[in-house]
């Protein structure tokens, strides 16, 4: 199904003025018919056309359509697609045309389209009164933010993630006729794409993991490569929803964390890793300082130490430099030996 934009239909004001004029004329003819005849037997040549218009003229009223900026209306005539109205203006079309929008009664967890009563991020149905409302299709850029998902990463660790997607309707005919409900279709494809991409990456950098598919391990991770992950999610969603006439402009990760059941353990693991890295840095620095101290003593000839005394000095210096508390010095007033 290819979109067909209806051009030259912005003459709603002219038709409305004409309709009002003809209706006023019919009222005048009706009055003249009664005056020329009587209330019981009006003058038929004037009475009949006036009554026909007054009783049947309302049939033309459904043909008036008003669109605001960034709105569209898909029209069908007796089940056949006739075209799409796009752009702001006052239109007049065939009064028997019907507006079609199967997603008019669906709300997503997105800006300007949030169902607060449901309190969840997925697709939700409106009430029957809302379903009977406008069938207009918004062409604005909209933000979809589905509920947080629990997904296993490539290492099997459960991760909670949420993604915000900026999207818009590109082809109204495809959106209406190619899928049953383009909003629910988008929501489902977004959830599926998030799961497909997240399971490729580890939460944090892990050795031996190939996230690009080139057969070589890399440093890709959900926490460290959020932009790359979001772009891959966007590309996958776009590929899935292209037949529905939707355009995915941007995707961003809005929430990322370990699942609650392993969050505490992973936090301890990160803390332990940080402590190990810090200790390693302290030891490397202490060894360098000890080497520098011994080299300076030997160079200046301050004192001559045998191997045993060098070992004792190294031990004492390492204790002082690597200790987590301030050292308490002991002054030796006797002989060194």
What is the per-residue pLDDT across 185-212, written as a single tens digit (0 to 9) for each? 999 999 999 999 999 999 888 888 888 8
**Res. 247: pLDDT tops 80:** yes
CA atoms lying within 13 Å on the CB side of residue 182: 26
Of residues 313 and 175, more confidence is placed in 175
Residue 73: CB partners within 8 Å, gap ≥ 6? 65, 67, 84, 85, 99, 135, 136, 137
Give dist(CA 192, CA 127) in Å, integer.
Answer: 27
Could you report the per-residue pLDDT of 15-38, keeping only the tens digit for each?
999 999 999 998 898 888 888 776
Strand partners, 250: 166
Could you report the per-residue pLDDT of 277-286, keeping only the tens digit for each?
777 887 778 7
Q: What pLDDT is attached to residue 121?
A: 45
Q: What pLDDT is attached to residue 294?
A: 75
Of residues 262 and 154, more confidence is placed in 154
Nearest Cα to Cα of residue 246 among 175, 299, 150, 190? 175
Q: What are phi and psi of 323, to 5 degrees?
A: -70, 150
Q: What pLDDT is attached to residue 264?
A: 64
Nearest Cα to Cα of residue 227 among 259, 211, 250, 200? 250
Question: What's the pLDDT band for 122 if we cut at 50, 70, 90?
Answer: very low
Of residues 40 and 218, more confidence is placed in 218
**Res. 240: pLDDT tops 60:** yes
Of residues 290 and 228, more confidence is placed in 228
Q: What pLDDT is attached to residue 133?
A: 47
**Res. 302: pLDDT tops 70:** no
Q: What pLDDT is attached to residue 305?
A: 67
Q: Report in angstroms the alpha-carbon separations of 147 from 144, 161, 205, 255.
A: 10, 9, 26, 10
**Res. 115: pLDDT tops 90:** no
- What is the average pLDDT across 47-75? 90
Which of 114-118, 163-167, 271-275 has the highest average model confidence (pLDDT)?
163-167
* Inter-helix orientation angle 12-36/44-56, to 10°: 140
Q: Provide the percentage of residues in the chain whose pLDDT is more than 90.
A: 39
Of residues 170 and 9, more confidence is placed in 170
Share the mean pLDDT of the chain. Answer: 81
Q: What pLDDT is attached to residue 317?
A: 73
Question: What's the pLDDT band for 266 if we cut at 50, 70, 90?
Answer: low
- What is the average pLDDT across 34-53? 78
Give dist(CA 180, CA 243) in Å, integer.
Answer: 12
319 and 327 in contact (C-beta within 8 Å)? yes
Q: What pLDDT is attached to residue 334?
A: 55
Q: What pLDDT is attached to residue 80?
A: 94
Q: What is the dihedral of CA 85, 88, 94, 95, to 10 degrees?
A: 120
Q: What pLDDT is attached to residue 66?
A: 92
Q: What pLDDT is attached to residue 127?
A: 37
- What is the average pLDDT across 284-292? 80
Q: What is the dihedral of CA 103, 105, 110, 114, to 10 degrees?
A: 180
């Amino acid at each position: 199904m290819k979109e067909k934009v209806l051009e030259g239909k912005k003459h709603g004001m002219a038709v409305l003025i004409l309709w009002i004029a003809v209706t006023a004329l019919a009222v005048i003819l009706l009055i003249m018919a009664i005056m020329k005849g009587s209330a019981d037997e009006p003058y038929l040549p004037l009475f009949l056309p006036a009554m026909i218009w007054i009783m049947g003229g309302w049939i033309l009223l459904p043909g008036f359509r008003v669109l605001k900026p960034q709105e569209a209306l898909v029209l069908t005539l007796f089940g056949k697609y006739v075209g799409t109205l796009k752009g702001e203006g006052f239109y007049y079309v065939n009064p028997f045309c019907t507006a079609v929008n199967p997603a008019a009664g669906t709300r997503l967890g997105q800006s300007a389209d949030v169902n607060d009563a449901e309190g969840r991020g997925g697709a939700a149905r409106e009430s029957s009164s809302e379903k009977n409302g406008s069938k207009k299709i918004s062409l604005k850029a909209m933000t979809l933010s589905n509920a947080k998902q629990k997904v296993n990463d490539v290492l099997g660790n459960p991760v909670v993630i949420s993604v915000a997607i900026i999207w818009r309707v590109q082809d109204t005919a495809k959106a209406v006729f190619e899928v049953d409900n383009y909003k629910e279709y988008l929501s489902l494809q977004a959830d599926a794409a998030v799961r497909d991409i997240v399971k490729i990456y580890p939460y944090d950098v892990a050795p031996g993991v190939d996230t690009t598919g080139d057969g070589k391990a890399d440093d890709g991770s959900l926490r460290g490569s959020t932009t790359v992950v979001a772009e891959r999610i966007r590309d996958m969603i776009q590929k899935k929803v292209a037949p529905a006439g939707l355009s995915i402009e941007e995707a961003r990760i809005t929430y990322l964390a370990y699942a609650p059941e392993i969050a505490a353990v992973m936090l301890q693991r990160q803390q332990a890793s940080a402590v190990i890295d810090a200790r390693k840095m302290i030891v490397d620095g202490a060894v360098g300082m000890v080497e520098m101290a011994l080299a300076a003593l030997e160079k200046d000839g301050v004192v001559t130490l045998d191997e045993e005394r060098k070992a004792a000095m190294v031990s004492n210096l390492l204790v002082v430099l690597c200790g987590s508390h301030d050292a308490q010095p002991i002054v030796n007033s006797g002989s060194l030996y």
